[in-house]
A and B are shown apart, each in its own frame.
Chain A
Amino acid sequence: KAGVTQTPRYLIKTRGQQVTLSCSPISGHRSVSWYQQTPGQGLQFLFEYFSETQRNKGNFPGRFSGRQFSNSRSEMNVSTLELGDSALYLCASADGRNTEAFFGQGTRLTVV
């Protein structure tokens, strides 16, 4: 079974631009969560989608948004990028029956 796939692996963007990151969950998994990882703040929860509906949301500004498609693939979007948005963005998938969440390798976003 293929794992969680995140694309692209690396991105460099300029302040003020917007960016879209993609996550393909493990086949059969309907829950996709997004996390931001930085050296200072660690791993912080952004939001979680289940069957195309956002079920949970973390404490991030409205510039961070996401969506999930009918095939469970998910995208997250960050608008008006700031230098502080530079981070590793991780996606995790779960099947909705068990509790285990499995992470992808992440997308490394650098804002310059």
Chain B
Amino acid sequence: QQQVKQSPQSLIVQKGGISIINCAYENTAFDYFPWYQQFPGKGPALLIAIRPDVSEKKEGRFTISFNKSAKQFSLHIMDSQPGDSATYFCAASQGGGSNYKLTFGKGTLLTVNP
């Protein structure tokens, strides 16, 4: 049972464009939604995270939009750069700081062309 569905599987964007990755979840008990960025040969690195009490969070060029009623959240990368080319994973967990079991989406391979 895939509890977090991520789309698209791959995405090609031109430099300066906007990259958008979407995720949908099923478990309404999830209360923490992080995005991770992974480069080849590296472990996932936390990019940005949101809790369901806010609808949007922005950090630099990265923005998470959250729709609790639709059980969906998305990552927007503004002014995409070739250095952003990586695999992006959405994830979800429940229980706040006492529970570190993350359920991941399948990942999106982002390629930003120069």
1/0 per position for B75-109, CB-CB distance to A under 8 A? 00000000000000101010011111111111100
Count of B residues near A, CB < 8 Å? 25
Q: For the complex, is A56 an interface residue (Cβ under 8 Å from B)?
A: yes
Contacts of B106 in A (CB 8 A): 42
Q: Are B43 and A100 in contact (CB under 8 A)?
A: no
B-binding segment of A63-71, A79-87, A103-111:
A103-111
Contact call B97/A98, Cβ cutoff below 8 A? yes
A26 at the interface (CB under 8 A from B): no
Query: How does the 8 Å CB contact mask read for B36-69 relative to A, with 1 for contact and 0 for none?
Result: 1000011111100100000000000000000000
Q: Is the CB of A97 within 8 A of B97?
A: yes
Whether A43 lies near B104 (C-beta < 8 A) is yes
Q: In angstroms, how far is the closest chain B Cβ from the Cβ of A86? A: 16
Interface residue from A4, A42, A55, A94 paired with B43 (Cβ < 8 Å): A4
A45 partner, pick from B34, B89, B101, B107, beta carbons under 8 A? B101
Tally of contacts, chain A with chain B, CB under 8 A: 67
Q: Is the interface of B mostly helix, strand, loop or mixed?
A: mixed
What is the size, in residues, of chain A's interface with B at 8 Å between Cβ atoms?
28
Q: Is the CB of B107 within 8 A of A42?
A: yes
Contacting residues, chain B, for A106 (C-beta < 8 A) = 43
Measured CA separation A76–B34 after assembly (Å): 25
Known contacts A42-B106, A43-B89; A100 and B101 CB within 8 A of each other:
no
Interchain CA distance A103-B91 in the complex, whole Å: 14
A98, B45: Cα distance in complex, Å: 16
Residues in chain A within 8 A of chain B (CB atoms): 4, 6, 31, 33, 35, 42-45, 48, 50, 55-56, 58, 90, 92, 94, 96-106
Name 21 A/B residue pairs within 8 A (Cβ), A-sorted: A4-B43, A33-B100, A33-B102, A35-B104, A42-B104, A43-B102, A45-B102, A45-B103, A50-B100, A56-B99, A56-B101, A94-B100, A96-B97, A98-B97, A99-B34, A99-B100, A100-B34, A101-B34, A103-B36, A103-B45, A106-B43
